[in-house]
Structure 1
Amino acid sequence: MMPNKFLQFLSLTKKAGHLVEGYNKCEEAVTKKIVYAVIISCDASENSKNKFKVKCEKNNIPLIEGYSEKELGSVLGRDFIKILAVKDEGMANKLLKLWNDSQEH
């Protein structure tokens, strides 16, 4: 299995201290417009997905959905995580590029 560059870079983003983790913290960060991308697990509730989709669209923040809560959690040293936000613009842009590249293959 090929290493997933997106998940590897997400792990680096956490180690650099540029991730917000969890529903309430991410919701607050999106509302305050202090994040540059939001990542939501594909197995988050439809209600959560819809709320973040609307908030992200309203604030022009890209939303990535496509990994399970276990995949996201495993690279972050947790059992699972449903919602993350990226506080650093450069790291967010790199994650978005890696995500888009992975969708083209």
Structure 2
Amino acid sequence: MQNRTISMIGIAAKAGKVVSGEFSTEKAIKEFKAYLVIVAKDASDNTKKKFKNSTDFYKVKYVELFDKDELGRCIGKEFRASIAVTDENLANAILKTID
């Protein structure tokens, strides 16, 4: 499961369909561009709560996966607390690897 999920997130990132970082993720949610928000398990409780509330309000899928280092590595960057997938098909494909 984990390797397939990492691969799918990497594919989405290479396709340019991932935004990362708190500001960019929040912006994607509010502009109705995000279909899936992934928050690192070791992100602060405040960050988790903020994104959980935001995704509930805007009806975006939300999951907590990996730690900050792993999440960043998935997209070829340094550690990231949050990412948003901006393509519906890729978001659904990532969710299928999690279930």
Question: SS of the residue aligned with 2:42?
Answer: coil
Displacement over 3 Å in runs of 4+: none
Give % identity: 34
Distance, in Å, in 1 between the alignment partners of 2:65 and 2:20 is 17
Deviates more, 1:71-80 or 1:17-26: 71-80
Q: So what's the TM-score if we normalise by structure 2?
A: 0.94
Write out aligned runs for 1:12-91 (5 A). Answer: 12-91=11-90
Question: SS of the residue aligned with 2:97?
Answer: helix
* Greater C-alpha Rg: 1
Structure 1 residue runs without a partner (length 5+) = 101-105
Structure 2 residue runs without a partner (length 5+) = none
On the 8 A contact 2:2/2:98 being kept in 1, the answer is no
On the 8 A contact 2:37/2:62 being kept in 1, the answer is yes
Cα RMSD after superposing both structures: 1.3
Distance, in Å, in 1 between the alignment partners of 2:79 and 2:31 is 25
Letter in 1 for 2:21: G
Tell me the equivalent position of 1:94: 93
State how many pairs are aligned.
99
Distance, in Å, in 1 between the alignment partners of 2:38 and 2:74 is 13
Deviates more, 1:70-79 or 1:8-17: 70-79
Distance, in Å, in 1 between the alignment partners of 2:64 and 2:2 is 19
Tell me the equivalent position of 1:103: none
